[in-house]
Amino acid sequence: MSLFQVLRNVFRNLDEDHFKILRIIEKNLKKYEIIPIEIIEKQSGLDKSSVEKLLKKLNYYKLVWCPRGKRKGYVLNYNGLDLLALRNLVRRNIIESIGKPLGVGKEADVYEGLSPSGQELAIKFFRIGRTSFRGYEKKRPTLHQYHSYLYASIVAAEKEFEALKILNPKGVSTPEPIARDRHIVVTKIFRGVEIPSAQYIGNPLKILTRILDNIVRAYEVGIVHSDLSVYNILVTPSEDIILIDWPQWIWRDHPMANIYLKRDLTNLIRYFKRRWNIENIPRKYQDFIDEVLKEIFNTA
Ligand SMILES: Nc1ncnc2c1ncn2[C@@H]1O[C@H](COP(=O)(O)OP(=O)(O)OP(=O)(O)O)[C@@H](O)[C@H]1O
Ligand SMILES: [Mg+2]
């Protein structure tokens, strides 16, 4: 069963009161490590036995979590956050359905999807902290850490969406932003693969030039990616490219901006040299790189 089918089944079995409880737990995310049942009761205005019943069902579907040994309160799970965000995105007519995974990264899962008008989407769910949480039994992150992971995922999505909204209209090749809710960013799909997986690149210098051109354009708009590598660049068979994965971007006037820019550039140039033996890059971009290096040198 696909993710969306699972969620739709869960969704069908929940009513408004379940969502009310979920939202209360979400609202108290920053205030409590474990949200006490009394707080949930008070804020919902429902009686104790109804709240217990509602929580039992939310817990059964793993939307919330009752930390072991402490029956007095609940924590929101990524599943619960997914459901709240997807419900909104469906209501806003952004998403009609979700399909196959497009990519599972360290910090996010990306699925393909469809809008009600049939547009193909890429739906990115941020999952910060998940890798260490998988080994929960071994590593046991604190509840406090767990909560801050959910929150960090929301902040990361917000930040990525902001970058896309600034860059895309300025002609920088990025996914085209459509909507964001909580930790989910929805963009247009791009039918390309990460550069290391692309076996069809016939003119690597052209690709490198396109990438550098976009880095320079983003820099002119005032933005440095700060985590750019060939894994965060997708390329199509017709050699169109986009730069993806922007949650860690910084403004150009950030004190570390040139250091990160240099790292982004060095990563890329090294890869193109190793894989295709490209030694010389076009003068214009070499000048840009020299300028960045000079500035680092001057301010060091
Ligand atoms: N707009 C898009 N269109 C098509 N595929 C996409 C799109 N955005 C992301 N993907 C796919 O999903 C994968 C993961 O995306 P992204 O790099 O944004 O997430 P991530 O989890 O932060 O990755 P990382 O492992 O670098 O932390 C990409 O490598 C790509 O295969
Ligand atoms: Mg990535």
State the average pLDDT over residues 144-150. Answer: 75
Report the nearest-CA residue for atom 20 of ligand 1: 105
25 CA distance to ligand 2 middle (Å): 30
Report the nearest-CA residue for atom 28 of ligand 1: 103
User: Are residues 241 and 101 in contact, defined by beta-carbon separation less than 8 angstroms?
Assistant: no
CB-based contacts of 153: which residues, under 8 Å, 6+ apart? 78, 81, 126, 127, 128, 129, 183
Q: Please pick, among 17, 47, 109, 227, the residue that the annotation labels catalytic.
A: 227
> Half-sphere exposure of residue 262, counting CA atoms within 13 Å on the CB side?
12
Sign of CA dihedral 282, 283, 288, 289: positive
Share of the chain above pLDDT 70, in %: 92
Q: pLDDT of 268-277, one tens digit each?
A: 999 999 999 9
Phi, psi torsion values for 86, nearest 5 degrees: -65, -35
Taking CB atoms and a 6 Å cutoff, what residues make up the pocket around ligand 1? 102-103, 105-108, 110, 122, 124, 175, 187, 189-190, 194, 231-232, 244-245
CA distance 191 to 65: 37
Q: pLDDT of 188-242, one tens digit each?
A: 999 999 999 999 999 999 999 999 999 999 999 999 999 999 999 999 999 999 9
pTM to 2 decimals?
0.93
User: Are residues 186 and 123 in contact, defined by beta-carbon separation less than 8 angstroms?
Assistant: yes
Q: What is the mean pLDDT of the chain?
A: 91
125 CA distance to ligand 2 middle (Å): 12
Is 181 assigned a catalytic role?
no
For the chain, domains (ranges, CATH) are 3-188 (3.30.200.20), 193-299 (1.10.510.10)
